[in-house]
């Protein structure tokens, strides 16, 4: 039996940001091996903690015992530990169920070219430079450092300053021996340093004297051309490394499960933005890591479909040849989404392709998900679903758990209509945190929670929104964006209500509430030990929420971030 103690939290601020970046890039703990004479199965007791189980009784316990990949016992004391049980003294730390992100794009993040450097937690230009410098310290000289999506320059300059990227000279100071490429959102703008400028100009891409690279939704543009050139440098091994880096970063935040929503069908040209991928090969790296037993997070997959042919032949083929819920505890298919069919991500009217595709999904009995961004599109979607439901024999789409995602402007009336169809709403905070305004605000968290409709949190990372759940939770409980402006007053939630949407509530969205989301005997042993007490508003004031992270993350009984003896 080994007894190991977790250290107390370190200082916050930029040092914490640097530490988080380095921790996310580090390898996970080695595979577990029981001592001689003990059964060859993980037997782990976490004790002397403050463990928020998130069960229906809101139980808080001191101890959790894990045997194999499941929670075996929850309560106080040794919980039947034996000489073969590894004991971890949490030293009074707070633990929660592993966080579940019910709508993101982690597969796309894993396919980013270069060595991804998450800037989503940066609150100043200095923070950005510190994160890049920390990343450069662990990457071979001459290799690309990239940060594509998941941030907004509005984060980097506090009011009344004008939001901006770091300049070429500033990026040179942080990474003089590595080419750097930063890109906002789907299609820029972006910025680079001197080494990057040389590479892009040799490819015929214009770069400003200050390192700026033009972008925007008219594609191709300089930013998407830059991204295209960098993608051309990638190998499958690079994509596997990037996917592992994405999972390591997630684990460092306490995220243990992702519900991936696919990518826009790629054409393999300079018109492809950060949300595009080759739908035939996009999962190669993920599948390879799964075969090798190297997945660090649980991944659930939706298949995104956008086709204009009213017959929706691609969707029809998918439904005829792929099975929902196919896979295992680490990698599994769930449904169709976040688009069903049609040409545009904004559904302004129920076009023939969208209607036919939606009917196909309903008839096949699959889960379906569509996103809503405007003050009108949720009406088109929910009314369309209701019409298709009425055409079908009972129970129609009820019981299939159809989901409306984002829904910043959904009303009480349409919430009730969706609830009557057995649907739920996936809401996010990080998107509005980094770039929201009083006009571009929402979602109506309070109204939705009080309505009783199934409600869960997501990040929608990593194009227009950060993966970091603590940024999203900060927005949910304060209603303030990254510039400190109150933009969603009257729709905030308490801390306990908010984190439940990232844990217990999200099991419903995966149809795995009996396996995930709470710390209870028989459920998957997914857990995060936090750097500070999220629930204590005196110890962790609102602004400090943004710096929370995990010091020990466990998935299926295996330590995937941190270690019991080195913290």
pLDDT tens, residue by residue, 139-156: 999 999 999 999 999 999
Domain 258-510: which CATH number of 3.30.390.10, 3.30.420.40, 1.10.4160.10, 3.20.20.140: 3.20.20.140
The average pLDDT across 284-297 equals: 98
Per-residue pLDDT, 350 = 94
Cβ-contact 555, 331 below 8 angstroms: no
Q: pLDDT for 214-248, tens place per residue?
A: 999 899 999 999 999 999 999 999 999 999 999 99
Which of helix, strand or coil describes residue 297?
Answer: coil
Q: pLDDT for 538-564, tens place per residue?
A: 999 999 999 999 999 999 999 999 988
Per-residue pLDDT, 566 = 60
Q: pLDDT for 100-111, tens place per residue?
A: 999 999 999 999
Q: pLDDT for 459-498, tens place per residue?
A: 999 999 999 999 999 999 999 999 999 999 999 999 999 9
**Rounded distance between C-alpha atoms, residue 103 and residue 302, angstroms:** 9
Q: pLDDT for 177-190, tens place per residue?
A: 999 999 999 999 99
Q: Give the domain ranges of the chain.
A: 3-98+521-561, 112-231, 258-510
Quickly state the pLDDT bin for 36 (edges 50, 70, 90).
confident
42, with CB counted inside 10 A (0-12, 13-18, 19+), is buried
Per-residue pLDDT, 19 = 53
Per-residue pLDDT, 564 = 81
- Beta 60-61 vs 3-5: how paired, if at all? unpaired
| Domain 112-231 class in CATH | alpha beta
b/e map 244-262, b = 16+ CB within 10 Å:
bbbbbbbbbbbbbbbbbbb
Q: Which CATH architecture has domain 3-98+521-561?
A: Roll (2.30)
Per-residue pLDDT, 9 = 31
Q: Which two tokens stand for residue 426?
A: 């996936």
**Rounded distance between C-alpha atoms, residue 347 and residue 371, angstroms:** 9
**Is pLDDT at 6 greater than 50 in this prediction?**
no
The residues, ordered by sequence, that sit 6+ positions from 21 with a Cβ below 8 Å of its Cβ are: 117, 118, 131, 134, 135
Cβ-contact 174, 141 below 8 angstroms: no
Which stretches of 216-330 are assigned E, i.e. beta strand? 255-260, 264-265, 276-277, 298-303
The average pLDDT across 361-372 equals: 97
Q: Which two tokens stand for residue 371?
A: 């996103």
Q: Which two tokens stand for residue 142?
A: 């001459």
The average pLDDT across 334-340 equals: 97
């Amino acid at each position: 039996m080994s007894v190991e103690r977790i250290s107390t939290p370190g200082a916050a601020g930029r040092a914490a940001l640097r530490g988080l970046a380095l921790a996310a890039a580090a390898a996970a703990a080695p595979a577990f091996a029981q001592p001689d004479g003990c059964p060859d199965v993980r037997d782990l007791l976490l004790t002397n903690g403050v463990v928020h189980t998130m069960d229906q009784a809101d139980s808080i316990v001191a101890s959790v015992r894990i045997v194999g990949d499941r929670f075996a016992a929850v309560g106080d004391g040794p919980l039947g530990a034996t000489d073969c049980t590894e004991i971890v003294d949490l030293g009074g730390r707070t633990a929660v169920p592993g966080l579940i992100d019910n709508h993101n794009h982690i597969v796309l993040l894993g396919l980013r070219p270069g060595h991804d450097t998450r800037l989503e937690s940066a609150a100043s230009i200095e923070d950005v430079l510190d994160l890049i410098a920390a990343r450069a310290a662990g990457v071979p000289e001459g290799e690309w450092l990239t940060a594509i999506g998941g941030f907004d320059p509005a984060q980097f300059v506090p009011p009344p300053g004008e939001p901006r990227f770091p300049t070429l000279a500033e990026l040179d100071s942080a990474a003089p021996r590595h080419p750097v490429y930063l890109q906002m959102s789907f299609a820029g703008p972006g910025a680079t340093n001197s080494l990057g400028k040389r590479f892009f100009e040799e490819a015929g891409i214009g770069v400003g004297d200050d390192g700026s690279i033009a972008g925007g939704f008219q594609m191709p543009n300089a930013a998407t051309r830059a991204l295209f050139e960098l993608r051309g440098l990638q190998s499958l091994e690079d994509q596997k490394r990037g996917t592992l880096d994405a999972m390591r970063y997630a684990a460092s935040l306490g995220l243990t499960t992702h519900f991936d929503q696919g990518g826009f069908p790629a054409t393999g040209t300079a018109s492809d933005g950060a949300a595009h991928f080759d739908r035939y090969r996009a999962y190669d790296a993920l599948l390879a890591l799964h075969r090798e037993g190297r997945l660090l997070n649980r991944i659930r997959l939706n298949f995104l479909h956008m086709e204009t042919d009213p017959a929706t032949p691609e969707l029809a083929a998918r439904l005829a040849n792929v099975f929902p819920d196919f896979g295992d505890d680490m990698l599994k298919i769930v449904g169709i989404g976040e688009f069903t069919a049609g040409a545009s991500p904004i559904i302004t009217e129920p076009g023939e392709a969208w209607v036919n595709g939606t009917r196909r999904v309903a008839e096949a009995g699959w889960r379906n998900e569509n996103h809503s961004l405007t003050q009108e599109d949720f009406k088109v979607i929910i009314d369309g679903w209701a019409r298709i439901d009425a055409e079908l024999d009972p129970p129609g789409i009820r019981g299939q758990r159809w989901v409306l995602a984002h829904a910043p402007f959904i009303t009480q009336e349409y919430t009730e209509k969706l609830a009557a169809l057995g649907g739920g709403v996936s809401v996010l905070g990080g998107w509005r945190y980094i770039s929201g305004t009083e006009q571009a605000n929402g979602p109506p968290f309070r109204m939705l929670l009080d309505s009783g409709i199934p409600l869960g949190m997501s990040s929608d990372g990593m194009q227009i929104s950060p993966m970091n759940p603590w940024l999203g939770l900060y927005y949910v409980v304060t209603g303030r964006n990254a510039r400190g402006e109150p933009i969603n007053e009257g729709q905030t939630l308490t801390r306990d209500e908010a984190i439940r949407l990232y844990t217990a509530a999200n099991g419903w969205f995966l149809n795995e509430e009996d396996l995930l989301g709470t710390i209870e005997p028989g459920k998957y042993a997914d857990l995060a030990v936090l750097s500070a007490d999220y629930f204590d508003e005196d110890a962790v004031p609102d602004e400090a929420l943004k710096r929370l992270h995990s010091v020990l993350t466990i998935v299926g009984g295996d330590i995937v971030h941190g270690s019991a003896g080195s913290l």
